[in-house]
Structure 1
Amino acid sequence: MSDAISWVKVSACTLPLANPISDAKVLTGRQKPMTEIALLFVEMKTRDGAEGVGFSYSKRAGGPGQFAHAKEIAPVLIGEDPNDIAKLWDKLCWAGASVGRSGLSVQAIGAFDVALWDMKAKRAGLSLAKLLGTHRDSVRCYNTSGGFLHTPLDQLMVNASASVAQGIGGIKLKVGQPDCDKDIERVSAVRQHLGDRFPIMVDANQQWDRPTAQRMCRRLEPMNLIWIEEPLDAYDHEGHATLAAQFDTPIATGEMLTSVQEHWDLIRHRAADYLMPDGPRVGGITPFLKIAQLAEHAGVMLAPHFAMELHIHLAATYKTEPWVEHFEWLEPLFNERIQIQDGRMLVPTLPGLGVSLSEQARRWTTASFEATA
């Protein structure tokens, strides 16, 4: 008789950030500075004693909604075979289908899906990357957390140097200020500071209109950037495609999309040179792998957004050399640390995701729910 899920715990956790975070969305008045991140954790056990842990997250808003949805759908997993991950993804999706198959509801499913894959890899005695099938044991990584717009220019240089000293392979800078000249000044200064060949990316967080994006891509073209990220609204696939076709500097986008279908629409428009899917946002590992297959078939490069604790494993399985985004923000939630060396992030070798929840994560937990057999 096959094993069966006997216990599922859903937890809401609020992680405070040391400093309020501002990007272009704050400067345009569309959002307030970010002061915390809401995490959704799922822990599960089976009748035979197998265990798995997964997570999803939300920034600025949506955390309570994810937790509420997860509580409603968690009981449908009780008694199910944890190996039937694709079947269980569909079952969770249809349990809440009246609120749609993208957005907040799917992000709640993501935490369950990651926990199921974590459990499957642990049962096999393999890291998640090895279970899925790797192309590499390390992945190029770049740091974003030191390049936000609230950071003064002189501190930007200090942060960049610190990241390089840590072994980070690239630096991403936020752009999209109302005064475009200030963006050019900051990028030019960091380019001069790090040299002509060091990998630098920029991210406008969807805050340019089409004429501004056209002008800024032209002005940034001589700076030898790895990519220009989200120059336009996340759903303006035609606009992104025009920029991707016109300029040598690659265009990156996709992090705000929350389904396989939305990513396919972006891919078929040829709107991204670098696709940036976010595993928790698209509903976990199961849909992420579908997106990666579509991207590989289209010859698109891959750079997953945020959540390096998960994405290091998924990026390691991609055929073309990818990038992983280094964010230290989530580190207090886990007992383990990902290693950085010579510009690359080393793929963890422990079974599953290779992470366990810390006591700090328990202390930051604000609510929980358990479903049992």
Structure 2
Amino acid sequence: MAAVESNIVSYAQVGAGARTAADSADRIDWIQLSLIYLPLATPVSDAKVLTGVQKPLTEIAFVFCEIRTRDGHEGIGFGYSKRAGGRGVFAHAREIAPNLLGQDPSDIGKLFVQLQWAGASMGRAGMTTQAIAPFDIALWDLKAKRAKLPLAKLLGAHRDSVQCYNTSGGYLHTELPQVLKNVATSRESGIGGIKIKVGQPDLSIDVRRVGEVRKLLGDGFPLMVDANQQWDRQKATRACRAFEGFDLTWIEEPLDAHDHEGHGQLADRFDTAIATGEMLTSFEEHAHLIMAGTDFIQPDAPRVGGITPFLKIMALGEFKQRKLAPHFAMEIHLHLAAAYGIEPWLEHFEWLGPLFNEQLQLKDGRMWVPDRPGLGFSLSEQAIRWRADLAEFGQRP
């Protein structure tokens, strides 16, 4: 009995002298927020403009977050808003930013919840969630940089490249001859798929445009269409039936973004896959969508609150065997799509190019994960010149 007691004392003494993870943790000591407006060369219209519910898109508001720690580690992330809300996201981000000062940057899950509670009275979806995204994404970027790994590799990549499609050349404001020129240019540049907008008041116009693009691309080349939520269930059913013969990879947002049941029913009824999810702004909303049975899920990390909730969406989506095609922000989503277990798609937008010093590599229809640590991008001088507001917290490095 005496020998047993002696061993207990020995273990207690060892434990008393050991340092814990909390003892040696790094700390956040500086945060900078930038509100940057990216102008678009040509106003952009989709079905929401034709139906009169929105005005043409002329600029995109970005909220960038830069974080630095006591030990000299850095991270950058961003959120964005189209048409309205940019200053609101920036204002809420500015309110909650001080909660991160002095915190361990590795505790990303804990910090996400902390920022949620900081704005809990405003809800857990929408603008308050989108204001968390720049911080959360910057923390993941920092973590990967500290590990000297691209974020995809830190997460556990399934692939080094992701098949990539282009959207920006097929908007409804673009006349069909120009759409065909844009499609040909995109294909020659090495893009792996083409998406065009639909949702004209006259369905026959949509069918003609899709038919001409299919003829140009030939059989088998991936082609998608996007209705931007502008059909009710009856019109969506008719449109899906009309498009069945074009061998589409998917029909996107045929219904209101929150009609999870309707999207699931269309997925069950037609051979052509149904895709949706870009407008949802929380994990919970995506969970309802995934369980309803749509074929492709299209989460947007800046809209759902960052990478932390996006990873939860990925886990549930993979469990339910949903395909993944993240919306917009390819600089972030390339890494996340590379870490998805089922072959995904990445949406290519050249619009964001002027914001960054680095550009992604497109080859053989796929976007390749860069070997740069973290997300692999930094703000350009042009982006800084577009800055409309700035807020700093803590000690400047």
TM-score normalised according to structure 1 size: 0.99
Matching residue of 1:365: 387
2: distance between equivalents of 1:86 and 1:237?
A: 28
What is the CA deviation profile of residues 65-115 of structure 1, one whole-angstrom value per residue up to 9, with x for unaligned ones?
000000000000000000000000011111111101110111010010000
- Structure 2 Cα separation of the partners of residues 199 and 161 of structure 1: 13
Query: Which AA in structure 2 matches 1:164?
Result: R
The runs of 5 or more residues in structure 1 that have no matched partner are none
Decide which of 198, 213, 217 is 1:194's aligned counterpart.
217
Match of 2:372 among 350, 354, 362: 350
Alpha-carbon offset, residue 349 of structure 1 = 1.2
Matches within 5 A, 1:101-250: 101-250=124-273
Pick from 310, 313, 322 the counterpart of residue 300 of structure 1: 322
Post-superposition Cα deviations, 1:93-143, rounded to whole Å, max 9, x if no partner, equal: 111111011101110100100000000000000000000000000000000
Name stretches of at least 5 consecutive residues in structure 2 with no aligned partner. 1-23
Q: Aligned residue for 2:338? A: 316
Match of 2:13 in 1: none
Report how far residue 335 of structure 1 moved: 0.3
1: CA distance between counterparts of 2:91 and 2:192?
39
Counterpart of 1:333 in structure 2: which amino acid?
Answer: L
Q: Which has the larger radius of gyration?
A: 2
- Following the alignment from structure 2 to structure 1, what is the Cα–Cα distance between the partners of residues 36 and 74? 20
Q: Kindly state the Cα deviation for residue 292 of structure 1 after the two structures are TM-superposed.
A: 0.4
* Counterpart in the other structure of 1:29: 52
Question: In 2, distance between residues paired with 1:344 and 1:49?
Answer: 35
One of 341, 347, 367 as aligned partner of 1:325: 347
Q: Deviations over 1:198-227 (max 9, x none)?
A: 100000000001111000000000100000
1:269: Cα distance to partner?
A: 1.2
Structure-2 separation of matches of 1:49 and 1:299: 41
SS at match of 2:351: coil
Match of 2:361 in 1: 339
Identical-pair percentage: 65
In the alignment, the residues of structure 2 paired with residue 287 and residue 239 of structure 1 have an alpha-carbon distance, to the nearest angstrom, of 24
Alignment RMSD:
0.6
Letter in 2 for 1:332: P
Secondary structure of the structure 2 residue equivalent to 1:45: strand
1:277 maps to 299
Secondary structure at the residue paired with 2:162?
A: strand
State the alpha-carbon separation in 1 of the partners of residues 300 and 359 from structure 2. 20
- Partner Cα distance (2:239, 2:132) in 1: 38
Q: Deviations over 1:289-338 (max 9, x none)?
A: 00000000001000000000000000000011000000011110000000
Cα distance in 1, alignment partners of residues 36 and 364 from structure 2: 33
Once the two structures are TM-superposed, the CA of residue 268 in structure 1 deviates from its matched residue by 1.1
- Cα deviation for residue 237 of structure 1 reads 1.1
Residues 1:39 and 2:62 aligned together: yes
User: What is the aligned length?
Assistant: 372
Q: Which residue of 2 aligns with 1:87?
A: 110
Structure 1 runs (4+) deviating above 4 angstroms are none
- 1:2 deviation in Å? 1.3
Distance 2:193 2:86 in 1: 30
Within 1, Cα distance between the matches of 2:198 and 2:378?
35
- Deviation at residue 248 of structure 1 after TM alignment: 0.3
Q: Structure 2 counterpart of 1:207, which letter? A: Q
After TM superposition, give the deviation of residue 258 of structure 1 in Å: 0.4
Match of 1:18 in 2: 41
Quote the Cα distance in structure 2 between the aligned partners of 1:132 and 1:253: 24
